[in-house]
């Protein structure tokens, strides 16, 4: 059975979620996959992911390690692990630059997953030249500065998702999971980004519940430590929204009428796939340009966030009846098939 290692280092849940979407598709093609991640939310994610996919292995790296320690851990893992193919998410040189010296020694197929990156970072690290270290570049539903070039081969796909359309929960079941009573519209706030950003989203959910009152239910989906911390910091709300931890949240989107989150890759791709009205807080990132993913009408501006103003925008988006399950393509399937073909071309004999 071919063995893949997916390098998915980076903060938040974005990198590891995209990697697990690919791993899910790869496992269906008979591939054995290990994911290397330093997400600070792994302790909450691991029990769910391993129940869903018992054959999948996730190798954690402590999120608090400095760059030198991260590089040492990756070096040791690549030297000791047995795998047939390497997939690197987003950072061609690695998060700490450690792959620059390690990749040339790996005599196996290497795949880069290239979503949008800031051109300044690409130029400063000369990533246009370094991408030649790879055998294949995959473009998962968006094109970054390295999307053009003759070598290596570039293949574009639809966005990668952790669920196929048929895996989404029916609306009634999803609403029950979210604690929705009656037929009031449901607003879901995603606790995404860094731990501090996720806590801020959980606090926004509380404020929004107060502002909307009986007009809509507000629920927050975030790791347990995030929501408990936010509740303690904000004090007892007048109407506290139920907070749940469900991963992947996409499973529940048939039960959601308006989604609020950051403008990260996964949130935007999943909202579009499920055809849910989306309001985004655009986060500033060192490597990523979130504002390019959404137009102005979907943006909630910081730093002066007014819950009453957000509530009015939510109210304008509510009212459209939603029924049945959405239908959408999952680019992770095509990506996994492309990687399998690459592996077959490089297989001995």
Q: Which domain holds residue 7?
A: 3-160+330-346
- Is residue 322, in this structure, part of any structural domain at all? no
CATH number at residue 208: 3.40.50.2000
- Is residue 325, in this structure, part of any structural domain at all? no
- List, for residues 136-151, the tens digit of each pLDDT value: 999 999 989 999 988 8
- Is residue 304, in this structure, part of any structural domain at all? yes
In this structure, are 253 and 105 located in the same domain?
no
- List, for residues 258-309, the tens digit of each pLDDT value: 999 999 999 999 999 999 999 999 888 888 898 889 887 888 877 667 889 9
In this structure, are 136 and 203 located in the same domain?
no
- Is residue 324, in this structure, part of any structural domain at all? no
pTM: 0.91
- Is residue 241, in this structure, part of any structural domain at all? yes
In this structure, are 117 and 194 located in the same domain?
no
- List, for residues 168-220, the tens digit of each pLDDT value: 999 999 999 999 988 899 999 998 887 888 888 888 999 999 999 999 999 99
Tell me what pLDDT residue 215 has.
92
- Is residue 137, in this structure, part of any structural domain at all? yes
In this structure, are 120 and 189 located in the same domain?
no
Number of domain units in the chain:
2
In this structure, are 104 and 181 located in the same domain?
no
In this structure, are 155 and 175 located in the same domain?
no
pLDDT-derived band at 229, boundaries 50, 70, 90: very low
In this structure, are 138 and 216 located in the same domain?
no
In this structure, are 107 and 242 located in the same domain?
no
Please tell me which residue, 330 or 13, carries the higher pLDDT value.
330
Mean pLDDT score, 34-42: 92
Tell me what pLDDT residue 237 has.
43
Question: Whole-number mean pLDDT of the chain?
Answer: 88
- Is residue 284, in this structure, part of any structural domain at all? yes
In this structure, are 124 and 260 located in the same domain?
no
Q: Indicate if the pLDDT at residue 231 is higher than 50.
A: no
- Is residue 323, in this structure, part of any structural domain at all? no
Label each residue of the chain as H, E or C.
CCEEEEECCCCCCHHHHHHHHHHHHHHCCCCEEEEEECCCCHHHHHHHHHHHCCCCEEEECCCCCCHHHHHHHHHHHHHHCCCCEEEEECCCCCCCCCHHHHHHHCCCCEEEECCCCCHHHHHHCCHHHHHHHCCEEEEECCCCCCCCCCCCEEEEECCCCCCCHHHCCCHHHHHHHCCCCCCCCEEEEECCCCHHHHHHHHHHHHHHHHHHHHHCEEEEECCHHHHHHHHHHHCCCCCCCCEECCCCHHHHHHHCCEEEEECCHHHHHHHHHHCCCEEEECCECCCCEHHHHCCHHHEECCCCCCHHHHHHHHHHHCCCCCCCCCCCCCHHHHHHHHHHHHHHHHCCC
In this structure, are 54 and 113 located in the same domain?
yes
In this structure, are 92 and 146 located in the same domain?
yes
Least confident of 23-32, 157-166, 223-232, 258-267: 223-232
Tell me what pLDDT residue 104 has.
84
In this structure, are 111 and 43 located in the same domain?
yes
Mean pLDDT score, 51-74: 90
């Amino acid at each position: 059975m071919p063995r893949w290692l997916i390098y998915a280092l980076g903060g938040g849940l974005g990198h590891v979620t995209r990697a697990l979407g690919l791993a899910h598709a790869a496992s269906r093609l008979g591939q054995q996959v290990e994911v290397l991640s330093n997400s600070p939310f792994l302790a909450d994610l691991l029990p769910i992911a391993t129940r869903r996919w018992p054959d999948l292995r996730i190798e954690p790296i402590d999120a608090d390690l400095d760059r030198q320690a991260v590089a040492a851990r990756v070096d040791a893992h690549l030297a000791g692990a047995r795998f047939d193919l390497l997939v690197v998410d987003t950072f061609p040189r690695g998060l700490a630059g450690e792959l620059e010296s390690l990749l040339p020694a790996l005599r196996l197929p290497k795949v880069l997953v290239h979503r949008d990156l800031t051109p300044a970072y690409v130029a400063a690290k000369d990533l246009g030249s370094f991408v030649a270290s790879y055998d294949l570049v995959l473009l998962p539903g968006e094109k970054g500065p390295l999307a053009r070039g003759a070598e290596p081969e570039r293949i574009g796909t639809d966005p990668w998702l952790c669920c196929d359309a048929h895996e989404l929960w029916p609306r009634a079941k999803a609403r029950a999971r979210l604690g929705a009573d009656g037929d009031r519209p449901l607003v879901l706030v995603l606790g995404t980004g860094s731990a501090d950003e996720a806590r801020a989203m959980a606090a926004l959910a509380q404020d929004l519940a107060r502002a909307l009152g009986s007009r809509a239910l507000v629920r927050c989906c975030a790791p347990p430590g995030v929501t408990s911390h936010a509740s303690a910091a904000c004090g007892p709300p007048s109407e506290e929204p139920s907070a749940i931890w469900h991963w992947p949240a996409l499973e529940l989107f048939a039960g959601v009428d308006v989604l609020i989150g950051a403008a990260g890759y996964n949130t935007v791709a999943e909202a579009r796939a499920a055809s849910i009205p989306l309001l985004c807080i655009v986060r500033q990132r060192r490597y990523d340009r979130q504002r390019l993913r959404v137009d102005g009408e979907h943006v909630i501006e910081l730093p002066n966030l007014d819950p009453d103003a957000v509530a009015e925008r939510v109210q304008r988006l509510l009212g459209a009846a939603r029924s049945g399950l959405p239908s959408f393509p999952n680019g992770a399937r095509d990506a996994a098939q492309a990687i399998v073909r690459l592996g077959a071309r490089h297989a001995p004999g």
